[in-house]
Amino acid sequence: MSQPVLGILTLYMNNKKQLEERHIYQKMIIEGQRLGLDIFVFTPMDVYDSKKMIHALVYDPKKRTWSRKWRSFPNLIFDRCRIQRSKRFEQLRRFRSRYANLNYLNRPLRDKWTIYQILLKKSRFRSHLPRTLMFRSTADVFNLLNDYPSIYVKPVNGTGGRGIARVEKLSNDMYLIQGRKKNRRIIPAQKLHKARLSAFLLNWRGSGRFLAQQGIQIKLPNGRVHDYRMLVQKNGHGEWDVTGCAGRIGAPRSVTSNLHGGGHAVMMNSLLAQGITGEERRQEVRRTAERLSLEIAAYLEKTIGALCELALDLAIDKNGHVYVLEVNPKPAREVFIQSGDSEAYRRAIIRPLEYALWLHKRTAAPSSQ
C-alpha cells in the first residue's frame, strides 16, 4: 500500500520565490518519512491546471537539498498560507475555490473582528475577551477611552505586531501615543492634546480596516509589555491538545511582544512568577489558560469548519485573569526554541503530521455499513 501524501500549501514571500518557513518544512518532511507520510511543499503558482499536476518542492534529507518534481495532487493539504497583500494571495483564493473538494486539514480563519464576534456569542468566553469595537470613526476610540485608561488600535488583518498603536489617557485632554508602523518601526512615545488625537488616529488608520480594543495591563516592572503564546493542535487521535505555552517580552519602547518586532520568549512559568505569587496559584492560572484555549479551538472549528492548529495570544493580569487578545491560525514555532522548550517545539512540528495520518486513515477506511 502506497504512503499517504501530504501537500504543504504556502505562499512565496516575494517574486524570487523565497519561502518563509523552509527550515520548518524540512523538519516536517524528515519527520514525515519516519511516520510513513510522504510530504511535499507547493504554492498556487506551482499548480498546472491543464496537466492536473503540481511542480512541487521536495526535500531530500540524505542529500540535504531541495529540488522540483512533478507530483499528482496530494491526499491531504496543510494550508500554511498567511494573509498578504499581493496577487499571490489572490491566486490562493482561486486555488481554494477551484479545488474546494480536496481534503484540507484546516480552513482559512476569518479576520479578527469576525472571530471576536463569533466568540462573543458564547457567554463562557465573554469575560475573557477585551472589549473591542470596529474603528469606523474616532468616536469609537473615545468611547473606549471613556471606560478604560488605555486602548489599542490594530488592523483587522494585521500580523506580527504591525500597525498597532497604544493610546493611554493621561488627563481629560492629554494622551500618550506609542506604536509600531506597518514596517514594524517603533514610533517614539509622544503626548498629544485631544484636539490633535483624532487627526493622528485617522492618519494611522488610513484607508485600512482597524479595531479599537480595551487595553489590558501587561507591563512588567521594567516597563516592557508581555503576553503568552498558547499553541493548541489536533493530535494523532483527532483531538485538540495543548502543545505548549511560552511567555513573550517585548522590546524596549514596544507596545507589542512579537518576536519579529524584537521581543524574546521565556518559559511561561518564569514569566507568571513575575506577577503571580505562589506556585499553586500559578498552576491554577495555567490550567485555566489551557482549558480556555482548548474550548475556543473546539468552538471555532464547530462554527467555521476544519482546523488543525491555533495559537492564542493571551494576556494575564496581576489577579490571574486570562484575556484572549488574538487567535492566529498559522502560528510560527520559534517561540518554543527561544523559550528553551524543545519538547513543545518537537510536538509543534509532529502533531499536524500525526493528525494528517489519523485523518487519512479515517477517510480512507471502508464503510462498515
Instruction: Give tens-digit pLDDT for 137-159.
Output: 999 999 999 999 999 999 998 77
Q: What does DSSP assign to residue 259?
A: G
CB atoms within 10 A of CB 191: 11
Higher pLDDT, 219 or 68: 68
Confidence band for 114, pLDDT divided at 50, 70 and 90 = very high
Give the start-to-end residue ranges of the domains of the chain. Answer: 5-104, 112-128+219-361, 132-214
Q: How far apart are CA 253 and CA 226, in angstroms?
A: 12
Which pLDDT value is given to residue 368?
A: 44
Tens digit of pLDDT for each residue in 198-234? Answer: 999 999 999 899 999 999 988 898 889 999 999 999 9
Confidence band for 185, pLDDT divided at 50, 70 and 90 = confident
Window from 85-99, 121-135, 226-240, 283-297 with minimum mean pLDDT: 85-99
DSSP string, 35-102: HT-EEEEE-GGGEETTTTEEEEEEEETTTTEEEEEEEPPPSEEEE-PPP-SSHHHHHHHHHHHHTTTS
Within 150-240, residue ranges assigned H as helices are 194-205
Asked if residues 302 and 218 have their Cβ atoms less than 8 Å apart, the reply is no
Q: How far apart are CA 310 and CA 132, in angstroms?
A: 21
Phi-psi region of 288 (alpha: psi -120 to 50; beta: other; left: phi over 0): alpha
Residue located via cell numbers 506604536: 179
Asked if residues 59 and 42 have their Cβ atoms less than 8 Å apart, the reply is no
Evaluate the CA torsion angle 334, 337, 340, 342 in order and state its sign: positive
Q: What is the rounded end-to-end Cα distance, in angstroms, of the chain?
A: 23
Which pLDDT value is given to residue 365?
A: 65
All residues at 6 or more sequence positions from 341 whose CB lies less than 8 Å from its CB, including other chains:
244, 246, 267
Q: Is residue 366 over pLDDT 70? A: no
Helix 22-35 vs helix 342-364: crossing angle, to nearest 10: 60
Can you tell me whether residue 178 is helix, strand or coil? strand
Q: How far apart are CA 106 and CA 81, in angstroms?
A: 11
| Class of the CATH domain delimited by 112-128+219-361 | alpha beta
Q: How far apart are CA 245 and CA 195, in angstroms?
A: 42
The model's pTM is: 0.94
Can you tell me whether residue 143 is helix, strand or coil? helix
